[in-house]
Amino acid sequence: MPAVVRTWVDGWARSRGTDAPRDVPGGFRIEVGSPNHRARYVLPAADPAVLRDLVGAIDTPGLWIKVCAPREALEPALTPAWKISEPQYLMVSALAPMPPATPPPGYTLDLTDHDGIIDARVLCSGSGTGTGSGSGGAVPAASGRAALTTGAPGGAAHSAPAPPCAAAAVFDMIGTEAAHRRRGLGRFLMASLARRAAELGAGQGVLVASPDGRALYEALGWRLRAPVTAAVFTA
């Protein structure tokens, strides 16, 4: 589990353009820098002693703890100043080269990669026939990215060159606009990102899914590694 979590935090940091994760007792810390999300601690396990010390040391709103464990493993360590968010799920999948996926009728794919970050947008034309790369009135219908990573300690941030020997791809910010859901766009988007990541050398995919996303990823063959519980210090 620690190796998978290391891969996830390193890829997430690359995807979001933050500094590389730092090792801390029991896990990792990522500086995020926004008012409601100043930093996050990510723990591969719910060690009671680690949680007690960490919760006792946090007094700044906007600091998050994410633990690869169910809610009941984290909640006893928290005070009323903490708010637990909806459950999430750490998932993995093998990646391998595959033929290009075909977009649903009326949609096209805009796929780019730079410095180990693969960005994908599924576009819908105003006429519903598809227009290529986003010109001529095409609008985004779905989008997401995958960040290549070695998962090694001291992983690079987004601005650094891509890892020379990518071991994995961390999938992030996967979403479909409400008006375009239930049309197979999520499946197509994930297949397109996975194909490109495999071409660039990634053999494993890692992500953290929402409850809705979990159903899609399980249908695509992704495996659950652990539940993830997140909480933020509010006051």
Instruction: State how far the Cα of 107 lies from the Cα of 101, in Å rounded to an integer.
Output: 12
Instruction: State how far the Cα of 13 lies from the Cα of 163, in Å rounded to an integer.
Output: 13
In this structure, of 145-149, 157-161, 206-210, the range with the lowest mean pLDDT score is 157-161
Query: Within this chain, do residues 27 and 53 fall inside the same structural domain, yes or no?
Result: yes
pLDDT at 132 > cutoff 70: no
198 phi/psi in degrees, rounded to 5: -65, -40
Q: Are 169 and 147 in contact (CB under 8 A)?
A: yes
Query: Within this chain, do residues 35 and 71 fall inside the same structural domain, yes or no?
Result: yes
Count up the domains in the chain and report the number: 2
Query: Within this chain, do residues 77 and 147 fall inside the same structural domain, yes or no?
Result: no
Query: Within this chain, do residues 101 and 192 fall inside the same structural domain, yes or no?
Result: yes
Query: Within this chain, do residues 148 and 205 fall inside the same structural domain, yes or no?
Result: yes
Confidence tier at 84 by pLDDT (50, 70, 90): very high
Instruction: State how far the Cα of 50 lies from the Cα of 100, in Å rounded to an integer.
Output: 46
190-223 residue pLDDT tens: 999 999 999 999 999 999 999 999 999 999 999 9
Provide the residue range defining the domain that includes 73. Answer: 2-88+228-233
Beta bridge partners of 30: 40
Query: Within this chain, do residues 82 and 101 fall inside the same structural domain, yes or no?
Result: no
* Average pLDDT of the segment spanning 186-192: 98
Buried b (16+ CB within 10 A) or exposed e, 163-183: beebbbbbbbebebeeebeeb
Q: Residue 201 sits in a domain of what CATH number?
A: 3.40.630.30
Query: Within this chain, do residues 135 and 182 fall inside the same structural domain, yes or no?
Result: yes
pLDDT at 168 > cutoff 50: yes
Provide the whole-model pTM. 0.90
DSSP 182-221: SSSHHHHHHHHHHHHHHHTT--EEEEEE-HHHHHHHHHTT
